[in-house]
Amino acid sequence: MKIYSKQLLNEFYQSLTYDDVSLIPTEISRVKSRNEPSTSAEFLGMNLALPVLSSPMDTVTGIDMAKELSSVGCLGILNRFDSSLNDLLIHPENKNGIRAVSIGLNTTFDIIEKLAEQDYIICIDTANANNNEVLNKTEEVKKRFNVKLIVGNIAHGGTLKNLEDSGADAVRVGIGSGSVCSTSIQTGIGIGQVSSLLNVLYSRTMGNYKIKIIADGGIKSSGDVTKAISLGADVVMLGRMLAGTKETPGEVIKYNGQLWKKYRGSASYGVKMRNEFIEGEETMVAYKGTVKNVINSISDGLRSSMSYMNCLTLDELRRTETYAILSNSSYLERLPKA
């Protein structure tokens, strides 16, 4: 079996995603238990206990989710469709730990000014960051205000210099990989998340850029979180893993004796509510209880992975250079059997 470095994975002839690769422990670990590694991360001037951001989707991040994630050392990005944002701007005393909000390209500069004055991180929430309108908006916001900016999304590092030059502090990497995103099907755009992350990572390294990398999409488990971080992501953005929790917007629905909550893509009909090109799906996910339980499970999985890989910090994990590429049968063999 061949052991692949990041460079070899980046040069692989096929596009790869998380299910295609596995970490290989090749060292005797000095880590005594999974409680020993530190999962803390610095991101845009904040110290996070866990490198997790919530996606600014209307069925994932409302006020409750943003506040709860902040309380457990993560970052929730309030979705741009949330009417509570207006109340926060009028009554900044209600901020209560909310640290990031998303905006659209049409958001006016008077609103952005208020967000900047209240020290929010701003996420320009678009499907395609490789766009002059996105670059121009980013550049104009940076010229006018002292604010940290997240932009997205990209699938390749070819435009990373343009994004950094425009003033973007972080970029969301991933197009079409979300579980309720149909962009790749509808447009034929996108590559696997492993290949996306590595391409952006090497573009950043070669250009000596400072922009932060957010792995956005395709993450189904704490193992995928570990893989994303090891491949160079500074933080991961989660949608479906957080969907269905108590803190997500929307009511709990009882159907066939089970509890559910709605989950949909930002470009779904339920969000757009008009007859135009749709790039998102709507579904129901099983109710999961509190988001704190999900975050604790991710933390436990990440720490356990780090103990296998002889890593005490996330920076050590990012220096991983030992991967396997899995056959389909090899991947299926690893799945739990009933």
Tell which residue, 231, 284, 298, 281, has the closest CA to residue 253: 284
Per the DSSP assignment, residues forming a β-bridge with 284 are: 262
Cα–Cα distances (Å) from 191 to 51, 156, 177, 187, 197, in that order, read 23, 8, 8, 12, 10
DSSP category for residue 159: G
- For 329, the token pair is 């049968």
- Residues contacting 117, CB < 8 A, separation 6+: none
Residue 96 preceded by cis peptide, ω within 30: no
Q: Return the residue matching tokens 């957080």.
A: 242
> Do the Cβ atoms of 164 and 316 come closer than 8 Å?
no
How many C-beta atoms lie closer than 10 Å to residue 147's C-beta? 19
- For 5, the token pair is 């470095």
What is the rounded CA–CA span in Å between residue 207 and residue 201? 10
Per the DSSP assignment, residues forming a β-bridge with 155 are: none
Compute the C-alpha angle 300/302/304, nearest 5°: 65
Active-site residue, selected from the candidate residues 74, 123, 181, 311: 181
Known catalytic membership, residue 181 = yes
Element at 21 (helix H, strand E): strand 21-23
Q: Which residues are catalytic?
A: 181
